[in-house]
A and B are shown apart, each in its own frame.
Chain A
Amino acid sequence: MTLQQLINKVLNDPAFFSQLKKDPAKAFQGTGEKLTPDQIKALKEVNYKALEDVGAAFAGGSAIT
């Protein structure tokens, strides 16, 4: 999965985003990614809390002007 695909998935697919925070290995199972044990370990160490703000800020568009 490219960074472009990842961003689009995180911003447009609430079910994936929700699963990613709970169990990243399971979230990527349905996307065709085959993860190694090292990758699963690394993904579990990511700070997913920081992603919540990105989803809220960029997914729906802002109301500024």
Chain B
Amino acid sequence: MKSLSPTGDAPDYFMQPRMFPMLLLPWWMAESGEQKLDRGFQSDVVYSTLNGYYYIRLLDNLMDGHGSVEIALLPAAAFFHSEFLLTYQKYFDANHPFWPVFRSAWFSSSEAIASEASVACFDEDAFRQVSVQKLCAARIPLAATSYFYQQAESMKPWLEFTTALANWSQMLDDLFDWHRDLRDKKDSYVLSRARQHKREAETLEAWMARTGFDWGMSVLRGWLPELHRLAQPLRSAALNRYLDLRAAMLEEDNTKLGAGLKTLVEISAVLSSAKNYSARPN
């Protein structure tokens, strides 16, 4: 848990602005309702979600085939799963409508982790049906929040928004992890796209530097208006501020990283220039 965090302090991992806001979404949902926030419940939701996250992360790392310490940590999955589940048993009895939502979301996440390894080509459909579904467990704390505050009607629009945000976040993840995924021989939507669209003798790295990063950024930009549209009926000022922040961060990354990748192309052109000169007839 400490090794995931950039500072070595486990909570800081979840505080990174680029992180999928799994802990904030239930808070924003509760805040947007008319009832007073119950801090004890919200704190339990955060605790449960952290345990659910570590459980999924542990399995996902093992399924990727690149886990190092994960095998030794596998027995801890029992702890994470129990703490994730038992928290909700305090609030919802066995026949509560929360549990079918829980079951559906939890099973979809597990199925996505299991099937990701066998996907031959990550086109956009496979991306939405497999990669993004790993994040659908984020529906569980939202369902719990809507039932706890007796705002079941608010659940559907929040779940729709969360699915769209999961799409966006997974795409961002694929784009920024392209080099690590390539090194670890892990396929993704971005790398599949690179394989399909690169020139005949071009490498995936060269395609990413030449045009792939720009393509990924344009996809992310293109999905932002849908996120804003889905956020509108949720009446959460904090959520809208978050989307504005993410849009600004995306533009900042686009400027900085786009310039960096073009610099690499420029250096490569300089290095190959001598070969071009020597190939010229005297």
Q: Which of A11, A34, A63, A64 contacts B4 (CB 8 A)?
A: A63
Check if A19 is an interface residue, CB within 8 A of chain B: no
Q: List 23 A-B contacts (CB under 8 A).
A: A2-B206, A3-B264, A6-B267, A6-B268, A7-B179, A7-B206, A28-B271, A42-B273, A43-B267, A46-B263, A46-B266, A47-B259, A48-B263, A50-B259, A51-B263, A53-B257, A54-B257, A58-B178, A61-B179, A63-B4, A64-B173, A64-B176, A65-B173
| Pair B270/A42 contact, Cβ less than 8 Å | yes
B37 within 8 A of A: no
**With the chains together, A1 CA to B173 CA distance in Å?**
29
Residues of A contacting B268 in the complex (Cβ-Cβ under 8 angstroms): 1-3, 6
Residue from B16, B20, B266, B267 whose CB has the most chain A CB atoms within 10 Å: B267
Q: Which residues of B contact A59 (CB under 8 A)?
A: 179
Residues of B within 8 Å of A33, CB to CB, are 271
Do the beta carbons of A11 and B179 come within 8 Å of each other?
yes
Interface residues on B, range: 35 or more
> Please, which residues of chain A bring their CB within 8 A of the CB of B205?
3-4, 7-8
B279 at the A interface (CB under 8 A):
no
Asked if A57 and B267 sit within 8 Å, CB to CB, the answer is: no
Q: Closest 4 CB pairs between A and B?
A: A54-B260, A61-B180, A62-B176, A4-B203
Q: CB-CB contacts of B238-282 with A at 8 A, as 1s and 0s?
A: 000000000000000100110111111111101101100100000
- CB-CB under 8 A from A47, the residues of chain B are 259, 263
Given contacts A6-B271, A57-B257, 7 further A-B contacts (CB under 8 A): A34-B274, A39-B273, A50-B262, A57-B260, A58-B176, A61-B177, A64-B20
User: Roughly how many angstroms separate A11 CA and B177 CA in the complex, as a whole number?
Assistant: 12
Measured in the bound complex, the distance between the Cα atoms of B268 and A38 in whole Å is 14
Which residues in A have their C-beta under 8 angstroms from that of B257? Answer: 53-54, 57-58
Please encode chain B, from 1 to 39, with 1 for each CB lying within 8 Å of some chain A CB and 0 for all others.
000101000000100101110000000000000000000
